[in-house]
Structure 1
Amino acid sequence: MKFSSQIKPISYLKAHAAEIVRELGEKREPLVITQNGEAKVVIQDIESYEQTQETMALLKILALGTRQIEEGKVQPAKDVIKRLRMRAGG
């Protein structure tokens, strides 16, 4: 995704807030806001934000699982199932 067309100064945000909110919902592309010529914030529609958060959570879970495998903190599923069945009396 190219952000070059989605960069606007803060004065544009102030003058076109309602239009920006509508376009963010339609296009689902983030908008970079600059202040004094420097990128300061990124705004995006709520659905995109929620999707990003869910993706980040899944990536964290994946990274944790990978680290546990590397550290040898995992056991074969058959061993775990056998132990659970023994606890349950079966």
Structure 2
Amino acid sequence: MRYSSQVKPISYLKANAAEVLTNLAERREPLVITQNGEAKAVLQDVASFEETQETLALLKILALGNQDVAAGKTKCAAEIVARLRAKRPTA
């Protein structure tokens, strides 16, 4: 995605806030807001923001898992299954 096509000055946002919000929801593309010609903020619709946050959370879980593997903090699946079966009450 090219952000350069979605760049607007803050004055545009002030004058067209309702239109900007509608476009964000429809296009689901972030909008870069500039102030004095410099990028200052990025706006995005709520659904995209939530998806981004979920993706970041999953990536964090993967990174933590990789750290555990690197540190040797793992057990083989067969060992875990055997322990669970040993704790299961018999009928």
TM-score, length basis structure 2? 0.93
AA in 2 matched with 1:60: K
SS in 1 for 2:75: coil
Task: Please identify runs of 4+ aligned residues in structure 1 that moved more than 4 A.
Answer: none
| Unaligned 5+ runs, structure 1 | none
| Unaligned 5+ runs, structure 2 | none
Residue identity (%): 60
TM-score, length basis structure 1? 0.94
AA in 1 matched with 2:23: E
AA in 2 matched with 1:88: R
Query: Quick one: distance in 2 between partners of 1:73 and 1:31?
Result: 43
* Cα RMSD for the two superposed structures: 1.1
Aligned residues: 90
Query: Quick one: distance in 1 between partners of 2:2 and 2:9?
Result: 17
Look up the match of 1:14: 14
Look up the match of 2:61: 61
